[in-house]
Chains A and B, each alone.
Chain A
Amino acid sequence: MSINIPVSGQSNEIYSLSVNGQVHQVKDAWIGESLLYVLRERLGLPGSKGACEQGECGSCTVIVDSKAVCSCLVMAADAVNTEILTVEGLGPNGALTDVQSAFLSEGGVQCGFCTPGFIVAVHHLLESNPSPTDDEIREALSGNICRCTGYGRILEAVRTVADQRRTNS
């Protein structure tokens, strides 16, 4: 099986990506486009951000087949046959998730550029580790850089969600 992607320019070749439960067609793409680029510039999903293009900041974090990865390092055409989840797909029908609410209530958002990557990474962390220690939180989020907050309020936001989920369960 193969997909033909042009070097650049016009082509009739199409490939599909499944993002947030919806199938999107991608056409006229250049083979070197990362998943981050395709999400942002072709699929109308600019929530994931690019701050380094080399996997050193985590702003582009998305979930691919249940793994939190840097979408800038995924070749978009290689992501066919996967299930992709972005920040836009986390909350049901525009409602805030508990993680998103906690980032707001605990002051974990300043410029907001790192925020979508963090939100996705935190959701992913709490799914596999519902009661993380502070050190586990720090390590799990060590691939997400924030330049504004110094991480203090973000740590508090994650603790808040973990506590809430424990109380509600």
Chain B
Amino acid sequence: MSTTSASTALRHGTLGTSASRPDGVAKVQGGFAFSSDMWADNMLWGATLRSPHPYARIVAIDVSGAYAIDGVVTVVTAVDVPGKLTYGLIVQDQPVFAAIGDTVRYSGEPIAAVAADHPETCQRALAAIKVTYEVLTPVTDPEDCIAGVAEQIHPDGNIFRHQRIVSGDTSVVGAVQVEGEYEIGMQDQAFLGLESALAIPDSNGAGLEMYVATQWLHEDRKQIADCLNIPEENIRLVLGGVGGAFGAREDISLQVHTALLAMKAGRPVRISYGREESFYGHVHRHPAKIWMKHHGDLNGKIVKIESRMVFDGGAYCSTSPAVLINGITHTQGPYKCDNAIVDGWAVRTNNPPCGAMRGFGVVQACFAHESQMEKLAAAVGVSPVEIRLLNAMETGDRMITGQIMDSVAPVAQCIRETDAIPMPAPLENNADLRTIPGGTGLTAQPSNIRRGVGWGVSIKNLMYSEGFDDFSTARCRISNGVVTIKFATSEVGQGFTMLAQQIARTVLGVDEVILDTIDTQVGSAGSTSASRQTWMSGGAVQVACQAALAQLFDHVATKFEMTRSELEIDGTDIVDRLTQRRVTVSEAISEIEIDCTEEYHHPPTDDLDENGQGNCHVAYAFVAHRAVVDVDPELGLIKVVQIATAQDVGRVLNPLAAMGQIEGGIAQGLGLAVMEEIIVKDGKVRNPSFTDYLLPTFLDSPTVEMVFIEEHEPKSPLGAKGIGEPPCISVTPAIANAIRQAVGRELPRVPIRPYDICL
């Protein structure tokens, strides 16, 4: 692993070092307050009644049975929503509660909520609510919607977005052509920290305070304010500890429900989902069907790509339009491509609603293009590495959207560095059975096993796109000799709070940095998603600290009679470059009050026109993965042995945190490759539990060998690129390609099941 050797010379806790997490001690001792650990005096428990039917008209709702139960305080339905009846991130098409006379559009759609003295009382109350449904036939095939033959299941219609990309000379035909129909199943974010919110109404009934685990406090607040018809300034949202997010908390889930119950009951209310409800309560990754055809010359150079992508967005819009755009604009992968025709659809059905999940549309596109690269390599008789090096994108290339790649783009280097990582030792005859497919199930012996190697390389956009100004805000205060940073950035486990301290320590030359409560009492930080927070919120913290530093320098120049223009931070001192006179930062800040709030904006982007042309993305990151997978071809069981990866990170700001993000992302990509899928039949979820939605365990996880490619990104405020999403994107096709090599099958669908491999 290449880390900068200068890190040992850096002051511990500054940028480039593996600084300690400010929340670490509390987390290992069990004292860290997740949103589900929060409690208030006089608190009631809340719970939600959900439709079992994927599509049905609501004829009647009778809540009287709930009120008859001892301990039940209040019940809310659609008639109790004082403001906007619907919410949503892009289009507000999702009802707070399904109303009488309207339809429910997915299995799990909320109809009512209750508040009571005990979670068990809540369950009995829900069971006592009588809903009369007229069950309808669900629309479950996106193709029917595209063809216009499906029933319109929503007044807005069944098409969330249709977008084409037409680029270059579409009449070009390649001497070599390879194609495939690829399918990506519905993955779930499955964060461990289950949804929870605690709403505390103000005593004057004009507003409330809410502690909630979320990805974007301000966006939540806006939707709560709209639905409750309360001014935003009367709602204070505080970040409750977040137990992972991975996209599932970008949409609201229980926020409005909790607020409604609390305001109506006049008491604090906490809703905490169980695992089954969590599967119904948040959006999932879009299942997708992608046809792709690559045209190449006889050497394997791509001359044209054709594709048709269909993303099933389920019942409500969520972020489907943006997911689609991400998918189709990444059709070419990290490869040069002059000519392309892409047709993309995001469709409404009565399947579970889909939205953001780490990778956001690019996971699906990448599975298709990396599967295609294997076919292209085989067709022209070159290796998986050679085909990718031959086509590798570079800075300055024109993309199929017409945008010029102006990010650092070390694609070839990622591939070469990954290729240089030593392969794992071959499987021994006396290998520990825990290390082979089947593990302690004792299904196989080493002689039954075949090993395969596969590659995946990807590109991922960073930040929000198509003209969205997803800025961030930070506040730096210096008071009584103490530096305090405030932001609304959601810490979901990725380590932003740690990074914020590192930035402040580096810019201001201090060791101690206090972090203020993460809440809506400061400007928006945007969402913790799109691999954006290091760039955007890191940028905001840096700008706020620099503004504070400028004021500090003004003060020091005056007070200590030093030359203002010559001042700089050196370690924990302020030094005059000319005279070398210095004063410690701690002395300098001891008698001054500074308060700076700054916003950080990225350069604007454009919409796509009808041919998919436009500078729609801000920046890009790249990564290569090589997977070594052992396969039992007769039983179809697998074990991922090693993932080797070189990732374009720009600059390593915290080595341990970077490793953690990469290893964690790889595990999620592995899950999609071989075991994770929400199984939906006729609109109903068949496996809403950890018994049957399988996450990789310690015994499923491979050795990971990684290299950081550190070519500083000049556009990034810290020189670093976001690193959260790339690790989970191309590892999925890398694993699929390895299994394909071992057993010689096409395997066009993920997750790959044992019967796909052996029957």
A residues in contact (CB < 8 Å) with B: 8-9, 30, 32, 40-41, 45-54, 56-57, 59, 86-88, 91, 94, 96, 100-101, 103-104, 106-107, 109-116, 119, 135, 137-139, 141-155
Contact = CB atoms under 8 A, between A and B. Distances in A.
Contacts of A46: 30, 33, 37
A91 B20 contact: no
Contact of B435 (A30, A135, A149): A135
B25 interface: yes
B664 A54 contact: no
B275 A88 contact: no
Contact of B275 (A54, A116, A152): A54
Interface residues of B, number: 64
A63 to B, nearest CB: 13
Contacts of A138: 434, 698-699, 701
B180 interface: no
Nearest to A115: B27
Contact of A109 (B21, B71, B241, B701): B21
A152 B663 contact: yes
B529 interface: no
B25 A104 contact: yes
A54 B440 CA distance: 22
B440 A139 contact: yes
Most interface-central of B26, B118, B192, B494 (chain A CB within 10 A): B192
B697 interface: yes
B667 interface: yes
In the A-B complex, the 3 residue pairs with the smallest Cβ-Cβ separation, listed nearest first, are A47-B30, A111-B493, A112-B27
Contacts of A142: 697-699
Contacts, number: 184
Given A141-B698, A147-B190, A153-B659, A112 B434 contact: no
Given A8-B121, A96-B29, A145-B697, A150 B666 contact: yes
Interface of B: 18, 20-21, 23-34, 36-37, 39, 70-71, 118, 120-121, 124, 190-194, 241-244, 246, 274-275, 432, 434-435, 440, 492-495, 656-657, 659-660, 663-668, 689-691, 695-699, 701, 704
7 contacts: A9-B70, A88-B31, A109-B27, A112-B27, A135-B432, A150-B663, A150-B704
Overall SS of chain A's interface: loop
A103 B682 CA distance: 44
A111 B18 CA distance: 17
Given A49-B193, A111-B242, A112-B493, 12 more contacts: A8-B118, A40-B37, A53-B275, A100-B29, A104-B25, A107-B660, A111-B243, A112-B28, A112-B243, A139-B698, A139-B699, A147-B191
A147 B669 CA distance: 11
A114 B192 contact: yes
A45 B728 CA distance: 35
A108 to B, nearest CB: 8
Contacts of A56: 689-691
Contact of B192 (A32, A51, A101): A51
Given A109-B21, A111-B243, A148 B434 contact: no
